[in-house]
Amino acid sequence: MNPKRIWMQSVVLVGAAVLFFSNLALAEDTPRHSWEFGPELYSYTYKEYSIGVKNQGIMYGLKGSYTYHPDRFMLKLDTRGAFGRVDYSSSSTGSSDNIDDYVIEGRLLAGYDFFRSEDASVVYAAYAGLGYRYLNDGGGGTITTTGALGYDRESNYWYLPAGLQATTPLSEYWRLISTFEFDLLLRGKQESHLSTASPLYSDITNNQDTGYGLRGSFQFQKTGEKVDLSFEPFVRYWDIENSEVSTIRYSGVAIGYGLEPENTTVEAGVALSASF
């Protein structure tokens, strides 16, 4: 799978859909300014298949967004943060539990609304933008069941999201907002703070150039006079290739090389939100 080719195909599909439906009118009830806030709960699973590493746990988060919607165009600032504890396991270094993890993500999106039918019963939105995801894995100070020392790790992803969204009325007061998105990794940077395991180790940084993400959700929204309430199952997925190689030093002497192995991340959960 070529992530760059898939992202370009996604952008072409979004652009073609916008041009095809651009002569249709905007829904009258689309607000010019809107805010959305709420909690989310999800399972987190990170795997490095080549060396049998897995981090798994439950994350508790908050999300928020602001959308400016003049006419058919849309600008959206989307943010979220989550905290939880994960259990580490490895086929070679044993396991350890209750490692603190937290994640912060921000996205700036631009989109366009168009419709499938003359009465605008189903509304489609196409969007693209720029995203940043930061993950902190606080393994420093932990010791596995085999006596291996853990260390802190920071993960940084800069990526380009491109997606399609469909809003379908279910009844007078309920609607379904379905979203599918493809994310192209621009650059990843992994910072392994080996010095938190032992001060004699040097920290290393590994750059990542190849990877992609997928995400999808079904938001069931109950509309109200002033506030809309939503329940949203979602899945977020990342597939990242091997990073560049960096030198590992102990007391200033090179003792080997390290890289961030090919890995996947799956976040699956539910979100509640209020929008106004």
Residues 6 or more apart whose CB falls under 8 angstroms from that of 68 comprise: 32, 33, 74, 75, 76
Confidence of residue 266 (pLDDT cuts 50, 70, 90): very high
Q: Is 88 in contact with 37 (CB distance < 8 Å)?
A: no
Where residue 139 falls (left for φ over 0; alpha for ψ -120 to 50; beta otherwise) is alpha
**pLDDT mean over 97-103:** 97
Higher per-residue confidence, 265 vs 1: 265
Higher per-residue confidence, 183 vs 11: 183
Question: First CA to last CA across the chain, in angstroms?
Answer: 40
Distance CA 165, CA 177 (A): 7
User: Does pLDDT of 11 surpass 90?
Assistant: no
Q: What is the CA radius of gyration of the chain?
A: 21
SS3 state of residue 267: strand
Which spans in 22-143 are helix H?
A: none
User: Does pLDDT of 23 surpass 70?
Assistant: no
**pLDDT mean over 22-45:** 76
**pLDDT mean over 53-74:** 94
User: Does pLDDT of 121 surpass 80?
Assistant: no
**pLDDT mean over 214-218:** 98
CA dihedral 106, 242, 5, 7 (to 10 degrees): -10
Tell me what pLDDT residue 31 has. 72
Q: What is the pTM of this model?
A: 0.88
Query: What residues does 266 pair with on adjacent strands?
Result: 45, 237
Distance CA 96, CA 55 (A): 10
Give me the amino acid identity at 126.
A
Distance CA 255, CA 248 (A): 6
Structure tokens at 80: 């979220």
Residues 6 or more apart whose CB falls under 8 angstroms from that of 121 comprise: 168, 169
Confidence of residue 19 (pLDDT cuts 50, 70, 90): very low
Q: Is 235 in contact with 217 (CB distance < 8 Å)?
A: yes
Distance CA 258, CA 151 (A): 14
The fraction of the chain above a pLDDT of 70, given in percent, is 87
Q: Is 162 in contact with 125 (CB distance < 8 Å)?
A: no
Around 7, how many Cα atoms within 13 Å sit in the side-chain half-sphere?
Answer: 19
For the chain, which domains are there?
3-275 (2.40.128.100)
Tell me what pLDDT residue 51 has. 87
Q: Is 207 in contact with 186 (CB distance < 8 Å)?
A: no
Structure tokens at 141: 């100070």
Q: Count Cβ atoms within 10 A of the Cβ of residue 254 and give its class: 0-12 exposed, 13-18 middle, 19 or more buried.
A: exposed
Tell me what pLDDT residue 2 has. 64
* Average pLDDT value for the chain: 89
Around 15, how many Cα atoms within 13 Å sit in the side-chain half-sphere?
Answer: 6
